Structure 1
Amino acid sequence: MENLCIVSNFAPLYREPIFKLIDAKWECDWYFGHNTTDIKSISPDTLKRMTYVNNRHLAGIMGWQDGIGRLIRDKRYDRYLMLGEPMVLSTWWNLIQRRLFYPQKRIYLWSHGWYGREGLLKKWIKRVFFGLADHVFTYGEYAKQVAIRQGFDVEKITPIHNSLDHLKQVGLRKKLSKTDIYTSHFGNHNPTLIFIGRLTHVKRIDQLLDAMSRLNKQGEKYNLILIGTGEAHNELDLKAKQLGIENQVWFYGACYDDNQNAQLIFNADLCVAPGNVGLTAMHTMVFGTPVLTHDDFPWQMPEFEAIRPGETGAFFHRGDVSAIAQGIHNWFVCHPDREAVRQACYNEIDTRWTPKYQIEILSTIIK
């Protein structure tokens, strides 16, 4: 069997578990761009055969990966799994060459795909780009439905979701138990809200602080722990003081201790993500904590699909502080059974958001 050629913009650490499963399933050659982001990368010796290439940018957008455009001509490969990013011209070049000169080869694209906010030009570009591939794996069902509405072939697209290090997380989860970490810190028994991730402006944690202030005025008090740091940290700290809720907010800071993060999440009651939720949803649900985030799905990340309203979380109207406050209030009024919610979160992640789930889908399509 010919080798499977895999191309991506870089090798993010959070994808190490699924990459390892792919590496064990097929004879793989991996081509990664050099990582220039603040996202951690996997070690260069993690996979059997890894090659690093230069990512070249045009007008601030990655436009070409050196050496990738000729891979379609390499006789070692008859199957390719590539990052499906329409702005990468080297991927276009492989797709076009394959269509014209190597019809016996197969190219599969792994991509966010469609957001649902594309204009006419982007819709056309994506339809052509993804249409050149043999199959497209999207991060979620929402992207598939958008693609179908835009005329894409339903038989050529399969949601694959996303995953973290599920086996490790379940191992940690089995050791968890309720502690007094929040009652000790805050000196009360109020419900504890949590957000874990970088404190950037796009996450709109400021709206969460405003919602807490509004709830205070209604006689409802909540604690909040923010695990992470970032560009918005100082502004949020100042805002909490201006609102008079500084004693209700714990700026925990960045934490890279998986055991500690698991305990903090497990003992919290509700994760609130006023901006797009992303991997935060998976990180909190795997340890049993539901998620409240906004309902403007074209501006969400694919992981919002793990939220099943009334079971593993809920949605509110994007950008509406009163809706955030109401969403928090409603959650605690309507979901008094914390253990039932915890089990629903476990079940959602364990069944659809794992490397095992992903490799099973990949194996059914890539022959």
Structure 2
Amino acid sequence: MKKIFVIYPGFSHYRVGIIEALLESTQNHYVFLGDKKGWMNVKPYDFKDSADFLDFPAYKIGPFYFNKGLIRYVISQKPGGVIVHAPPYWISIIIASLIFKVKGVKVFNWTHGVLTNHRNLKNKLYFIFYKYFFDGLLLYGNCAKQNLIKLGFNKEKIKVIYNSLNYKEQIKLRDTLTDKERQSIRSSLFDNPNNDQLLFIGRLTVQKKLHLLIEAIHLLKEENIFVNLLFVGDGDQKEKLQSQVDKYKIADQIHFYGASYDEIQNCKLISSSDCCVAPGEIGLTAMHSLMFGVPVISHNDMNKQMPEFEAIVPNINGALFKYGDTVDLKEQIKTVLNLRKTKSNSQMKEDCYKIMDEYYNPNFQINLIDNVFN
């Protein structure tokens, strides 16, 4: 078995699925290096007392980030391969990557790549960074791959690895909510539980453009179409959203549940809904909802999206509306709610599950990673 280093600034809790799959691998021995406190104020994954995790605390100097003690440690190491998550401003990880390359160790950057198709200076600099600092890339999405290829990157050095959540636990939970439980949950949240129920799960931040969703609820109400909206999450936009709800006098249709990190409860809340809507960049929200059989709506501008929007297949498991267009968002909500009425519940769920079970799971990811190094 080869020893493979996985070097991140810190490891987020939502990466539990792939972290545990790598720890359990029988093909390679994976060792994780990073800050045990995580990064970007996201709840960290708890490695407990695992010997396969080494703590290198992160700190910042100006715009640059470092991991204390990392460079000193890697100087004496020669693993069978290395995976890093490293934008250009994580200096310690970049230096560590170069040290390994000098030693003849293959280093892959698991990264977003280039998310826009613009041929601007920033994208060209990222192209140079990826080309000369790493042996290959593991990307979250196909759009980023195509953007790099158009800039001249060797397509043979790019593997699309997608993303995953706690797939093993989610598989056990999906399809467990009974019709009676579903109705009970909806009744506990809304005065009119028979209305169609929309959902957003994630952080309530400005990037998510959730004000558009509330405006769409208002526009639907003006057409005498009444839908409920459940927010599962917290963030700095909550008060503004609540003020907007009051302005439109739709408080009886909106419920702010708060943040939830309990997967069982999240399964119930998602599964009780008819559709998930994320008007801004969607990210992991798409995966979370599709995993539990709930179709997803987000916007269609790939240059302003996160890679996970690629999991949405219009008229199959969701819809894409014109970026920033509230009227079109309203229409796509109607489209998906009508789509649900033309399909059986089991078919709707299967159409959501399909892409998750094929690509967005740790089994797909670990097979790709093992093959890269073997």
> Would you say 1:190 and 2:195 are equivalent positions?
yes
1:225 matches 2:230 = yes
Q: Distance in 1 between matches of 2:339 and 2:29?
A: 51
Q: Larger deviation: 302-311 or 87-96?
A: 87-96
The question of 1:84 aligning with 2:86 is answered: yes
Question: Residue deviations 1:227-281, cap 9 Å, x none?
Answer: 1222111221121111011111111222333222211211211111011111111
Contact 2:119–2:151 (CA under 8 A) maintained in structure 1: no
- Equivalent residues of 2:177, 2:268 under 8 A apart: yes
Alignment of 1:302-313 (within 5 A): 302-313=307-318
Kept after mapping to 2: 8 A contact 1:20/1:47: no
Please tell me the residue identity of whatever aligns with 1:161.
Y
Root mean square deviation, CA, Å: 2.0
Q: Which moved more, 1:37-46 or 1:70-79?
A: 70-79
Which residue of the partner structure matches residue 172 of structure 1?
Answer: 173
* Per-residue Cα deviation, 1:142-200 (whole angstroms, up to 9, x for no partner): 11111111110000001001101111011111422222132563325221111111212
Deviations 1:35-83 (A, max 9, x none): 3433111224264321121323243x34333333355543442311111
Moved more, 106-115 or 75-84: 75-84
Structure 2: unaligned runs, 5 residues or longer: none
Report what 1:57 is aligned to.
Answer: 60
| Runs of 5+ unmatched residues, structure 1 | none
- Matched residue SS, 1:231: coil
Structure-2 change in CA distance of 1:345 and 1:47 (3 Å): farther
Contact 2:33/2:54 (8 A) holds in 1: yes
SS in 2 for 1:41: coil
- Paired residues for 1:1-367 under 5 Å: 1-25=1-25, 26-33=28-35, 34-45=37-48, 47-59=50-62, 61-70=63-72, 73-99=75-101, 101-102=102-103, 104-116=104-116, 120-132=120-132, 133-178=134-179, 179-180=182-183, 181-183=185-187, 185-336=190-341, 337-339=343-345, 340-367=347-374
Q: Distance in 2 between matches of 1:12 and 1:224?
A: 28
Aligned with 1:271: secondary structure? strand
Alpha-carbon distance in 1 for matches of 2:266, 2:244: 25
**Distance across 1 between alignment mates of 2:72 and 2:154:** 28
Post-superposition Cα deviations, 1:119-150, rounded to whole Å, max 9, x if no partner, equal 63322322222113122100111111111111
Q: Identical aligned pairs, as a percentage?
A: 29
- Does the CA contact (< 8 Å) of 2:11 and 2:39 recur in 1? no
Tell me, yes or no, if the aligned pair for 1:203 and 1:273 is still in contact at 8 Å.
Answer: yes
Change (3 A) 1:297 1:338: farther
Q: 2:93 is matched by which residue type in structure 1?
A: T
TM-score, normalized by length of structure 1? 0.92
CA distance in 1, matches of 2:50, 2:326: 46
